[in-house]
Amino acid sequence: MGKRKSAVENVVKSENPLAADLDHILAHTEGLWEEIRGQRLFITGGTGFFGCWLLESFVWANDRLGLDASVVVLTRDAASFSRKAPHLAQHPAIRCHPGDVRSFDFPPGQFSYIIHAATDGDLKLMAEDPLAVFDINVQGTRRVLEFARQCGATEFLFTSSGAVYGKQPAEMPYLLEDYRGAPDPTDAHSAYGAAGEEKRIAETLCALYARQCGLKPKIARCFSFMGPYLPLDGKFAVGNFIRDGLRGGPIQVNGDGTPYRSYLYAADLTIWLWTILMRGVAGRPYNVGSEAALSIGALAQMVADTYEPALAVQIAGSPTVGVLPARYVPSTKRGQAELGLRETVALREALWRTLVWHGRPATGG
């Protein structure tokens, strides 16, 4: 425990609190970066959870390897991004481009790589205007693909979702990329189901543009994650548990705590996304996530146990007798075998690093 505290203190004292993670990412991706030397990249969703990690790692590699590369980031609110991450917004290799993903004006010039990570998981918007969320995911993807065609980019990464598989059968331990399940198209009230249908359509758009325009879309089907920049008020259970812990507890579980999830740390997520973009096979989806499953109740208890004394956990519901727990857990064998991807940060360490980043380190664990 003493060694871990010492390491954390060194990270906190460094110029960038993510320095250790960014060094870790660079060490696992260094062979990829030469391809973008002197190139321009375009990123949507660059101010969100995925986007901030992509930008952090890009700047880190760009500065340390002297790549002379640059990124244009599409954003609806540059001022908000500047407040959230001023060191990124003000970096000379990053330029913000104002606009909505559904209708943005195309920035001039050529781009070699495009990462389309924009989505909208805002629960209020999902409830009040689900058609707007549908358009952001579908119409927005069409707009970005059209920009890729016009600007001459061929390398394209689309961050899809494990929700494209629909409801995972409870008896199926892991979802494989060739599983042919699908969301229920009549279920307009399921956030995951709706997002899955939209992502399915977006993946089809990628395939159509690949056939018609010579685009090389790489598809990352993303599951669940943990780490700095993850929203603490929203649809992410782990974010809500961390929020409860930072407030002193109790940790609130809204359901019965039985569903199984798995969580990949953000640094590993970033390694996987860059690797899929640079080395993935076009049109061949790769699951991105962890295979280390645990129940939502166990996750809540893990968060509670990182404090000393442990915080209380309150589970609202009770398990239904005779019903197998729901699951949302990927198989990552394809990424492991074809791209050498590995999970390198265990869940407890991921939780610890996230709490430290928020400035309220736990004392247990």
List, for residues 79-114, the tens digit of each pLDDT value. Answer: 999 999 999 999 999 999 999 999 999 999 999 999
Is residue 160 assigned to a domain?
Answer: yes
Buried b (16+ CB within 10 A) or exposed e, 295-326: bbbebbbbbbbbbeeebebebeeeeeeeeebb
pLDDT of 226: 97
* Angle at CA of residue 162, ends 160 and 166, nearest 5°: 120
Residue 125 has pLDDT above 70, yes or no: no
CA-nearest of 147, 157, 86, 174 to 116 is 157
Distances (CA, A) of 173 to 148, 240, 324: 37, 25, 12
* The token pair that represents 259 in the structure block: 């569903």
pLDDT of 326: 96
Q: Residue 246 CA to chain centroid, in angstroms? A: 22
Q: What is the C-alpha separation between 308 and 132, in angstroms, rounded?
A: 44
Q: Where does the pLDDT of residue 129 fall: very low under 50, low under 70, confident under 90, or very high at 90 and above?
A: confident
Split into its structural domains, the chain has a count of 1
pLDDT of 5: 39
Residue 6 has pLDDT above 70, yes or no: no
Q: What is the C-alpha separation between 90 and 81, in angstroms, rounded?
A: 10
Higher pLDDT, 123 or 134: 134
Q: Where does the pLDDT of residue 236 fall: very low under 50, low under 70, confident under 90, or very high at 90 and above?
A: confident
What are residue 83's phi and psi, to 5 degrees?
-70, -40
Is residue 308 assigned to a domain?
Answer: no
Render pLDDT for 184-202 as a digit per residue (tens, 0 to 9): 888 776 544 557 889 999 9
Q: Work out whether strand 260-261 and strand 294-295 pair parallel, antiparallel, or are unpaired.
A: antiparallel
Helices (H) and strands (E) in the chain, counts: 13, 14
Is residue 200 assigned to a domain?
Answer: yes
**To the nearest whole number, what is the mean pLDDT of the chain?**
91
pLDDT of 121: 60
Residue 10 has pLDDT above 60, yes or no: no
70, amino acid identity:
S
Is residue 52 assigned to a domain?
Answer: yes
Render pLDDT for 324-341 as a digit per residue (tens, 0 to 9): 999 999 999 999 999 999
pLDDT of 9: 38
pTM: 0.93
Is residue 17 assigned to a domain?
Answer: yes
- Domain range enclosing 79: 2-224+265-289+330-345
Residue 14 has pLDDT above 60, yes or no: no
Is residue 253 assigned to a domain?
Answer: no
Residue 7 has pLDDT above 60, yes or no: no
Higher pLDDT, 279 or 124: 279
Buried b (16+ CB within 10 A) or exposed e, 129-142: eeeebbbbbbbbbb
Is residue 46 assigned to a domain?
Answer: yes
User: CATH number of the domain that 169 lies in?
Assistant: 3.40.50.720
Is residue 60 assigned to a domain?
Answer: yes
Render pLDDT for 17-63 as a digit per residue (tens, 0 to 9): 999 999 999 999 999 999 999 999 999 999 999 999 999 999 999 99
